[in-house]
Structure 1
Amino acid sequence: MQLYGALLLLPAALLLTAFAYLPTVTTVINSLFLPGFRGAPTEFVGLENYQVLFDDPTFWKVARNNLIYAIGTIPTSIALALGMALFVNGKLRGRGFVRMAYFTPTILPMIAAANIWMFFYAPQIGLFNSLLGALGMPGVNWLGDPGVALGSVIVMSVWKEAGFL
């Protein structure tokens, strides 16, 4: 009986090894070498590549942005998805339509979602800046201002993925 279970798991284990574990191990091994250029052999440098990486301020900025993105999207998406699920779980007229509306952003291709949000975020003609202008407030360059761009991308990501969770 255990052999039968192992045989059923074998294809998934092989695919996981071939496409996840093996590339990870290969990448770690390659990171210990300096690539040779124009036919020169590779040179073993050990952890020197990691030292250069950790000394680079751009790496730390990217790591910080990734952490902010993860903290901004994951808990927010989970909380929003839970709230939406509880809302449509009760007796609600048009429940099927509401469920479809929740899930529609998830099935949109990313390029379509990006185009929709570009219309919202466009500096001169965007929906958000038009609303701000109607309230007498100045417009914002949502994707061009470094102080606002990451938050704008987080909002778009949460909108796109909340229905999936």
Structure 2
Amino acid sequence: MSEHINLEKRRQAIYGWLLLSPAMILLTLFAFYPSIATLWSSLFSRGTRRKPSEFVGGENYADLFADPVFWKVVTNNLIYAAATIPISIAIALAMALWANSKIPARGFVRTAYFTPTVLPMIAAANLWLFFYTPGLGVLDQFFGLFGLPSINWLGQPETALWAVIIVTIWKEAGFFMIFYLAALQTIPEDLKEAADIEGASRWTYTRRIVLPLLMPTTLFIMVNALINSVKLIDHLFILTKGGPNDASKLILYYIWEMAFAFFDAPHAAAMTILVLVVLGVVAGIKFTILDKRTHYQ
């Protein structure tokens, strides 16, 4: 009898490992191994034909922390994230609430909001060049009607990063709206009817019922927006290339520049590891703290 039980447990264990093996193989090939290889590469110096790479430990990380460009890029990315994440989420929520209400041409409104999401970021950046081009762009043409001077939106350190931020918000708000719209349609109509019976205003119903029920979706969108704030670089190649004077350079563009423009793979690897550590800390906070405080229906 015990032998039969042990055989059944062994069979279930094998079955479980077979179910896990596709995901484990993919994670090992495309996540675990590249991360370990990147960490290992960050511990060596840049090698040349005459001077092979050597183990330097944390020297590459020390070089980054001593580099003013590194801190400039980090500051840019913090500003970029602090602006794009809350603004795009707020706009997405407002658009979803309006698109979910009983308005004329509701299908057209939803399509119009979602259309920027369909465009690749390269195409969106080229489209916005028609707005930002000095003298010929839509913005300068509009401001010229009021006698205002032409502004080089992408060529000034004061405006370049904010011009990139606007493109990102325009591109991402419609994408996040889809998640909010789907979540709004799962809220039972009984709750709205009960709120109407109690005499609650639309604002009270939204604040006390809708927003708490949307918290899981909001948390999901925040995590995606945070990841996007680190990984989006397509529009930088078209709009500013990180300039002028590193004013709009972001972390991933800086990593690409070090690895493929300056051929400095060890420092690029060290920068990548720092990004992974930060994202790992954020993921830990999300799973250990935020998930427990989020209301799930």
Tell whether the structures are fold-level matches, with TM greater than 0.5.
yes
Identity of aligned residues (%): 59
Cα shift at 1:14: 2.4
Query: What's the secondary structure of 1:146's corresponding residue?
Result: coil
- Sort the Cα spacing of 1:2 and 1:158 in 2 relative to 1 into closer, same or farther, 3 A: farther
Task: Tell me the residue number matched to 1:87.
Answer: 98
Q: How many residues align?
A: 165
Task: Tell me the residue number matched to 2:197.
Answer: none
Q: Which moved more, 1:70-79 or 1:30-39?
A: 30-39
Task: Tell me the residue number matched to 1:135.
Answer: 146
Query: What's the secondary structure of 1:159's corresponding residue?
Result: helix
Give the AA of the match of 2:108: F
Give yes or no for the alignment of 1:107 onto 2:118: yes
Cα shift at 1:12: 2.8
C-alpha separation between the residues in 2 aligned to 1:16 and 1:57?
Answer: 35
Larger Rg: 2
2:135 to 104, 120, 124: 124
Cα shift at 1:75: 1.2
Q: Which digits, 9 at most, give the CA deviation of each residue in 1:129-156, with x for residues without a partner? A: 1111111111211100110010010001
Query: What's the secondary structure of 1:163's corresponding residue?
Result: helix
Larger relative contact order (CA 8 Å, sep ≥ 6): 2
Task: Tell me the residue number matched to 1:27.
Answer: 38
Structure 2 runs not aligned, ≥5 long: 1-11, 177-297
C-alpha separation between the residues in 2 aligned to 1:12 and 1:124?
Answer: 53
1:54 to 47, 53, 65: 65
Give the AA of the match of 1:100: T
C-alpha separation between the residues in 2 aligned to 1:105 and 1:130?
Answer: 23
Q: Which digits, 9 at most, give the CA deviation of each residue in 1:108-147, with x for residues without a partner? A: 1222211210000010101101111111111211100110
C-alpha separation between the residues in 1 aligned to 2:13 and 2:87?
Answer: 42
Give the AA of the match of 1:65: N
Q: Over aligned residues, Cα RMSD in angstroms?
A: 1.7
Task: Tell me the residue number matched to 2:163.
Answer: 152
Give the AA of the match of 1:148: T
